[in-house]
Amino acid sequence: MYKVFVNNTPIILSTKKAVQDYTTIPIKEVDFNDLILKILKDDKLKFHLYHKNQEKLIDHLYTKLPVVLAGGGKVYNDSKEILFIRRNGKWDLPKGKSEKKEDMETTAIREVEEETGVKDLEITKFLYKTFHVFKRNDEYRLKVTYWFEMKTEYDGPLTPQIDEGIKKVKWKDAKKAKKALQNSYANIRELFSHEYLS
C-alpha cells in the first residue's frame, strides 16, 4: 500500500479491490487532476486507487502527473538527536530535487548539506519513498522523495539555506521532535510513525 498526499489528505493506492470507508477507483481510469481538485475542496474525501499488480500500480501513477524525483535525510547525531529544518512555518526534514544523472543517495546527502550546513554524512539505510502532490507553474506534479536514514559526528554550526526559504535548522531530541511533528506535514510524520506516533 502507498499513500499519495494532497496537502495532508492521503490518496491510498493498493492491490486490494476495496478499502473500508474509501471510494475505490481503478487507477487506469482515474483523472488525477480531478481527484486533487475534489480533495482541495473537501479534505474529508477518501479515495482509494486500485490495480491488482503492484508494479503496474506505480507505473500507472507515474503516468498521471509529471514526476519530480527528490532525496532527503532523517539525520541522527551522536546524541541521537534528529536534524529538522523550519520552512513555510512548518518543521520539515531536509530534502530536495535530484539533478541529472545523480543517484538518490548522492541527491539526499547533497541536499542535506546544502539546506543545513551539516557535513560528514553517512547513509545507514534506505527508509522508503513518500509521495505528495504540489503545484508549480499552474500544473500539479507528483514529488517522489527517497528517504535515507543518516548519521553524522558533525557538531559545527547549522546554516539554513536562506534562498530555499529555510529559516532555522535545529537538532531535536525525542521530546522536541515529537512536538515539532505536530506542526509538520503528514508525509514527514509517516517517517516517524513507528517511533513517536504509535
Task: Give Dmax (Cα) for the chain.
Answer: 52
Per the prediction, the chain carries an average pLDDT of 94
Structure confidence at residue 1 (pLDDT): 87
Structure confidence at residue 193 (pLDDT): 75
Instruction: Let me know whether 47 and 144 are in one domain.
Output: no
Has residue 121 got a pLDDT over 90?
yes
Task: Tell me the torsion sign for CA atoms 56, 59, 61, 64.
Answer: negative
CA 98/CA 108 separation, integer angstroms: 8
Has residue 85 got a pLDDT over 50?
yes
Instruction: Let me know whether 124 and 45 are in one domain.
Output: no
Structure confidence at residue 106 (pLDDT): 97
Structure confidence at residue 197 (pLDDT): 42
Q: What is the tens place of the pLDDT at every residue in 160-188?
A: 999 999 999 999 999 999 999 999 999 99
Has residue 51 got a pLDDT over 50?
yes
Structure confidence at residue 198 (pLDDT): 35
Could you give the C-alpha distances from 179 to 15, 27, 75, 186, in angstroms and in order? 35, 36, 17, 14
Has residue 10 got a pLDDT over 90?
yes
Instruction: Let me know whether 103 and 173 are in one domain.
Output: yes
**Is 69 domain-assigned?**
no
**Is 197 domain-assigned?**
no
What range defines the domain where residue 48 resides? 2-64
Question: Residue 107: what are its φ and ψ, rounded to 5°?
Answer: -55, -50
Count of domains observed in the chain: 2
Instruction: Let me know whether 83 and 181 are in one domain.
Output: yes
Instruction: Let me know whether 38 and 79 are in one domain.
Output: no
Could you give the C-alpha distances from 31 to 9, 113, 143, in angstroms and in order? 17, 38, 18
- Whichever domain contains 176, its CATH number is 3.90.79.10
Of 103, 106, 116, which Cα lies nearest the Cα of 164? Answer: 116
DSSP for 108-123 reads: HHHHHHHHH---S-EE
CA 167/CA 164 separation, integer angstroms: 9
Instruction: Let me know whether 103 and 44 are in one domain.
Output: no
pLDDT-derived band at 195, boundaries 50, 70, 90: low
Q: Which residues contact 126 (CB under 8 A, 6 or more apart)?
A: 146, 147, 148, 149
